[in-house]
Amino acid sequence: MLSILLVLVISLAPFMWLVLSTLKPAREMFTFPPTYLPHVFTLENYFNLLSKTDFPIWFKNSLIVSTATTVIAIAVCILGAYGASRFRFSGRNLFLFMLFLTQMFPGVLLVIPYIEIMRSFGLIDTLASLIITYCTFAIPLCSWILKGYFDSLPRDLEEAAMVDGCSKLGALRRVVLPLSVPGVAATAIFIFIQSWGEAMFAILLTNTSSNYVLAIGIYTLSVSEFEWSWANLLSSGVVTALPLVFIFVFLQKYLVVGLTKGAIKG
């Protein structure tokens, strides 16, 4: 018990320091020796961040990109993973191998092809370019995860539903998906987190501040010609982490159950 408590304290200490620092006046952040608790509690840093910068726009862009990526990728992954799990067709093994093969290439090798493709379709400096890019990375891996989860479900339930008059899609919607909520939720959380924090393609595919996501906006916000704006940097870090903290606190059971079951079945 003490070892768990020690690990918990060590893990949470940096984040607690981050939160407490944002509640200090800017001048108190640089006092020496450093203060652990603010002498004067203030929300001025958050007020300046939300009212005097483009942070709300970047937050909205990140939310749009991550949500759209999650919805599109999950819809494609469900159909693809279910088909790969339940049907035997010519080229099935090659299809699964190609899905796996996509994970062997680091993203940096695909930068130039993606830029050229997006430029040819006129999508450079748009949120659509990020959504498409993130979907192409999320779909192969998450299809594998969901396939493993669907493999763990008994086929008898679907066959019983089809005897009662359901089609394959009807059985998927009425029987398989309700039983797959933990796996689908875990996969959706994984996709959202990955797209929320991605920076490399966001830097290369967007050029204007109005289309920045948080990964780029925070960097441009914190760096000026002569100094780092630590107040903005720390405050933006806290606000950016809030959606992910919410996800882990309230949906962690789906994440653990879904990823574990999808990983050991195949």
212 and 188, same domain (yes or no): yes
At residue 205's C-alpha, the angle toward residues 200 and 208, to 5°, is 110
37 and 50, same domain (yes or no): no
146 and 213, same domain (yes or no): yes
Confidence of residue 256 (pLDDT cuts 50, 70, 90): low
23 and 78, same domain (yes or no): no
Residue 262 clears pLDDT 50, i.e. is over it: no
Lowest mean pLDDT among 111-120, 142-151, 210-219, 257-266: 257-266
Alpha-carbon gap, residue 155 to 138, rounded angstroms: 27
Alpha-carbon gap, residue 83 to 7, rounded angstroms: 43
* DSSP β-bridge partners for residue 223: 228
pLDDT digit string (tens) for 75-86?
999 988 888 888
Cβ pair 239, 164 in contact under 8 A: no
Alpha-carbon gap, residue 182 to 253, rounded angstroms: 8
12 and 111, same domain (yes or no): no
29 and 75, same domain (yes or no): no
3 and 118, same domain (yes or no): no
Domain with residue 214: its CATH number is 1.10.3720.10
Q: How many domains does the chain have?
A: 2
Q: Per mean pLDDT, which of 106-115, 215-224, 253-262 is the most reliable? A: 106-115
Task: Return the residue matching tokens 């669907």.
Answer: 150
Cβ pair 143, 80 in contact under 8 A: yes
The arithmetic mean of pLDDT across residues 17-24, rounded, is 85
pTM summary value: 0.83
List the structure tokens of 31: 């006092």
Residue 32 clears pLDDT 90, i.e. is over it: no
pLDDT digit string (tens) for 163-183?
877 788 888 888 888 888 888
pLDDT digit string (tens) for 78-121?
988 888 888 887 877 887 788 777 777 787 888 888 999 999 99
Query: Which pLDDT score, from 0 to 100, does residue 264 have?
Result: 43
Give percent of the chain with pLDDT exceeding 90.
20
Average pLDDT along the chain = 83
210 and 86, same domain (yes or no): yes
The arithmetic mean of pLDDT across residues 54-70, rounded, is 94
177 and 259, same domain (yes or no): yes
147 and 199, same domain (yes or no): yes
Which structural domain, as residue segments, surrounds residue 7?
Answer: 1-42
Instruction: Give the contacts of 249 (CB within 8 A, at least 6 positions apart).
Output: none
22 and 53, same domain (yes or no): no
27 and 108, same domain (yes or no): no
The arithmetic mean of pLDDT across residues 41-55, rounded, is 87
DSSP for the chain? Answer: -HHHHHHHHHHHHHHHHHHHHHTS-GGGGG-SSPPSS-SS---HHHHHHHHHSSHHHHHHHHHHHHHHHHHHHHHHHHHHHHHHHH---TTHHHHHHHHHHGGGS-GGGGHHHHHHHHHHTT-TTSHHHHHHHHHHHHHHHHHHHHHHHHHTS-HHHHHHHHHTT--HHHHIIIIIHHHTHHHHHHHHHHHHHHHHH--HHHHHH--SGGG--HHHHHHHHHB-SS-B-HHHHHHHHHHHHHHHHHHHHHHHHHHHHHHHHHHH--
